[in-house]
Amino acid sequence: MAERKIGMVLFDGFTAQDFIGPYEVFSRVPGWKIAIIAKMKGLIEAEGGLKIAATDSISEDPEMDILFLPGGSGINDLLKDSSFLEFIRGKGIRAEYVTSVCTGSLVLAAAGLLDGFRATSHWRSLPLLKLFGVDVSADRVVADRNRVTGGGVTAGIDFALYLVCLLEGEILARQIELGLEYNPAPPLRCGHPDIADRQTIEREISRTSGIYKERERIIRGLISRGK
């Protein structure tokens, strides 16, 4: 089993589940060493106020075989942070795999790492990923050469099991899926617009409309300036 360095990049306003699903899977792979990377070492604040400690800072230029980005409301600030996007781009073009969950793919796209690739995002943000010219898919996990992206939030678990299966084989991936008791039974059965009722979809679109509109404005600005 190959040793691999996993660079999981966090930022204030990330979605905790986007990150922890993959963390829980990756940390069970023998030989995979996880670095939790942020602009500065210290505590990073997730949505909801939870604080997680970064192990490495961007300025230390940590090595990584796999680049991973979660999503969250905090990506709106990242999309405006050219030095952060430059760091992501630099790591991504050298990485063995470039990966994301949820709206993390918008950051990869803004860093130019999804040009000419097929990718996915949270269902709510798929139109925004399209603005970048990415070949957008609504699938829960999308792999195109060395880009592997997951859909919204909980899709990170499926994404991570897929990646481990791809890189370390099905035997280990099966064992991790069993260890995580990943035999889900969503109680409301409405976890995607394809299966949810109209009112729930409209409520969720309305709840997120402020952040969505701000995000769209930022992305259109990036694109008009040639990224």
d(CA 117, CA 105): 11
Q: Are 119 and 144 in contact (CB under 8 A)?
A: yes
Closest approach of a copy of itself to the CB of residue 217, in Å = 22
d(CA 60, CA 223): 30
Nearer to a copy of itself, 85 or 149 (CB): 149
Active site members: 102
d(CA 112, CA 96): 16
- Name beta bridge partners: 57: 38
Q: Are 52 and 24 in contact (CB under 8 A)?
A: no
Nearer to a copy of itself, 37 or 85 (CB): 37
Closest approach of a copy of itself to the CB of residue 134, in Å = 18
Closest approach of a copy of itself to the CB of residue 148, in Å = 12
User: Which residues here bind a copy of itself, judged by CB under 8 A?
Assistant: 15-17, 20-21, 23-24, 27-28, 34, 36, 43, 47-53, 102, 122-123, 140-141, 151-155, 157-158, 161-162, 165, 170-171, 173-175, 177-188, 190-197, 200-201, 203-204, 207-208
Closest approach of a copy of itself to the CB of residue 177, in Å = 5
Nearer to a copy of itself, 21 or 104 (CB): 21
* DSSP SS3 for 87: helix
Q: Are 18 and 151 in contact (CB under 8 A)?
A: no
Nearer to a copy of itself, 165 or 223 (CB): 165
Strand pairing report for 32-38 and 56-57: parallel
